[in-house]
A and B are shown apart, each in its own frame.
Chain A
Amino acid sequence: VADARFAKPLDHALISNLAKTHKVLITIEQGAQGGFGAMVLHYLADTGLLDGPLAVRSMTLPDRFIDQAAPDAMYADAGLTATDIAATALQALKRTPVSV
Chain B
Amino acid sequence: MPSLLDDIKTPSDLKNLSDQQLAQLADELRVDVIEAVSRTGGHLGSSLGVVELTVALHAVFDTPKDKLIWDVGHQCYPHKVLTGRRSGMNTLRQEGGLSGFTKRSESPYDPFGAAHSSTSISAAHGFTVARDLGQDTGDAIAVIGDGSISAGMAYEALNNAGAEGRRMFVILNDNEMSIAPPVGAMSKYMSGLAGTALAQFNAFGQDIETVLPGPMRDHARRARQLVTGAAASQGTIFEELGFEYIGPIDGHDMSQLLSVLRSARTRGKGPVLIHCCTVKGKGYAPAETSADKYHGVAKFDVASGAQMKSGANAPSYTAVFGQTLTQLAEKDSKIVGITAAMPSGTGLDLFAQRFSDRMFDVGIAEQHGVTFAAGLAASGLKPFCAIYSTFLQRGYDQIVHDVALQNLPVRFAIDRAGLVGADGATHAGAFDIGFLTALPNMVVMAAADEAELVHMITTAAAHDTGPIAFRYPPWHRDRRQHSARRQAAANRQRTHCAPGSGYCVAILRRTSGGGAEGRRPHISTGR
Q: Say how far A21's CB is from chain B's closest CB, in angstroms.
A: 3
Q: Say how far A93's CB is from chain B's closest CB, in angstroms.
A: 6
A11-34 vs B, CB cutoff 8 Å, 1 = contact: the mask equals 101110110111111111111111
Residues of A within 8 A of B (CB): 1-9, 11, 13-15, 17-18, 20-40, 61, 65-75, 78, 81-82, 85-86, 89, 92-93, 100
Q: Please state if B419 and A71 are interface contacts (CB–CB under 8 Å).
A: yes
Q: Which of B429, B505, B513, B522 is close to A2, meaning CB atoms less than 8 Å apart?
A: B505
Q: Please state if A69 and B421 are interface contacts (CB–CB under 8 Å).
A: yes
Q: Say how far B243's CB is from chain A's closest CB, in angstroms.
A: 34
Expressed in whole angstroms, the Cα–Cα distance for A27 and B504 within the complex equals 6
Known: A2-B507, A14-B521. A68 touches B421 (CB 8 A): yes
Residues of B467-524 contacting chain A, CB below 8 A: 473-475, 478, 481, 484-485, 487-489, 493, 495-499, 501-516, 519-523
Q: Please state if A68 and B505 are interface contacts (CB–CB under 8 Å).
A: no
Q: Which of B94, B443, B485, B513 is close to A6, meaning CB atoms less than 8 Å apart?
A: B443
Q: Please state if A36 and B443 are interface contacts (CB–CB under 8 Å).
A: no
Expressed in whole angstroms, the Cα–Cα distance for A26 and B505 within the complex equals 6
B420 partner residues in chain A, CB cutoff 8 A: 71
Expressed in whole angstroms, the Cα–Cα distance for A36 and B499 within the complex equals 13
A6 partner residues in chain B, CB cutoff 8 A: 443-445, 521, 523
Task: Report if B448 contacts A (CB, 8 A).
Answer: yes
Q: Say how far B487's CB is from chain A's closest CB, in angstroms.
A: 8
Q: Please state if B94 and A35 are interface contacts (CB–CB under 8 Å).
A: no
Q: Please state if B504 and A1 are interface contacts (CB–CB under 8 Å).
A: yes
Q: Please state if B95 and A24 are interface contacts (CB–CB under 8 Å).
A: no
What are 11 A-B contacts defined by CB distance under 8 Å?
A1-B504, A2-B504, A2-B519, A5-B452, A14-B521, A21-B515, A23-B511, A24-B509, A30-B417, A30-B419, A71-B478
Residues of B within 8 A of A (CB): 93-97, 99-100, 417-425, 428-434, 436-438, 442-448, 452, 456, 473-475, 478, 481, 484-485, 487-489, 493, 495-499, 501-516, 519-523, 525
Q: Please state if B424 and A67 are interface contacts (CB–CB under 8 Å).
A: yes
B485 partner residues in chain A, CB cutoff 8 A: 82, 85
Q: Please state if A68 and B424 are interface contacts (CB–CB under 8 Å).
A: yes
A33 partner residues in chain B, CB cutoff 8 A: 434
Expressed in whole angstroms, the Cα–Cα distance for A93 and B492 within the complex equals 13
Expressed in whole angstroms, the Cα–Cα distance for A26 and B431 within the complex equals 20
